[in-house]
Amino acid sequence: MTLRSILIHPDPRLKKVCDPVPELTDEIRKLADDMLATMYDAPGIGLAAPQVGVMKRVFVMDCVKEKDAAPEPMVMINPEVTWHSDETNVYEEGCLSIPEQYAEVTRPAEVRMKWLGLDGQTHEEQFDGLWATCAQHEFDHLNGKLFIDYLGPMKRKMITRKMEKLKRERARSGAAKDPIL
C-alpha cells in the first residue's frame, strides 16, 4: 500500500471527465487500496481517483463519524446515480484538493447509487446524511466538477487565487515533489 500525492486545484486533471473502468484488475485493486490509505492519512472522508492523478471512474469513502467506531470503507467503481430526492440538504463542504477552504453547498438530501464493487458484483444502495453529500461530491470529481463550481464567480476566483499561492509556496519549499505524479 502506497500513499499517493493529492493534486491541488487548479490542475487540468481535476477538470476532466474520467474514463469507465472496463474490468476489475490488480491495478484497480491496488489503486483502491492506495486511495483508502491516502484518504485515511489525509485525513478525509472521501477521495476520487482524479485527485491522485488517475483518470478512472473510481472513488472511495468512509463517513463514519464516531471516533471509536469501526471503519466502513467503501470503494465505488463506475458509480451511477440512479435516483435522487427532491428534498435538499446544505452542508459545509471541504475538499482535499482545496485545502482549508469550506463553503455551503446544496445537494439532494438522498441519493441512490449503483456501482461495481471490489468483489466483482454490482451493488445498489441509498444514502442519506453525510454519506449522500460525500457520494455526490466524489461523483462530481469523476465528471471534473469541484464543490467551488457551485459557488458564485467571485468566491470561486478568490479560493482559486489562494490555491495558486499555496501551490507556489509548496513548490518553493519542495513539498510537492512526488515520484508517482
Number of residues that bind ligand K1U (CB under 6 A): 17
Residue 63 assigned as binding residue: no
Those residues whose C-beta lies under 8 Å from the C-beta of residue 77, and which sit 6 or more positions away, are: 21, 24, 28, 32, 57, 58, 115, 116, 117, 118
Which candidate, 60, 168, 37, places its Cα nearest to that of 117?
60
- Asked if residue 50 binds ligand K1U (CB under 6 A), the reply is no
8 makes contact with Zn ion (CB under 5 A): no
| Binding test (CB under 6 A) with ligand K1U, winner from 36, 47, 132, 142 | 47
| Choice from 4, 9, 56, 137 touching ligand K1U (CB under 6 A) | 137
Compute the distance between CA of residue 163 and CA of residue 153 in angstroms, rounded to an integer.
15
Q: How far is the CB of 120 from ligand K1U (least distance, A)?
A: 25
Fill in the amino acid letter for 66: E
> What is the DSSP track for 65-123?
-STTSPP--EEEEEEEEEEE-SSEEEEEEEETTEEEEEEEEEEES-EEEEEE-TTS-EE
95 counts as binding Zn ion under rule CB under 5 A: yes
Which member of 87, 104, 138, 164 is catalytic?
A: 138
- The answer to whether 138 is a known catalytic residue is yes
- Taking the C-alpha atoms of residue 32 and residue 158, their distance in angstroms, rounded to an integer, is 33
CB-nearer residue toward ligand K1U: 79 or 121 = 79
Nearer to Zn ion, 47 or 77 (CB): 47
Closest contact distance (angstroms) between CB of 122 and Zn ion is 25
Residue 137 in marked binding region: yes
31, 75, 134, 166: which one contacts ligand K1U (CB under 6 A)?
Answer: 134
Q: Minimum distance from CB of 142 to ligand K1U (Å)? A: 11
Strand partners, 60: 47, 75
Instruction: Give the residue numbers annotated as catalytic, written as ranges.
Output: 138
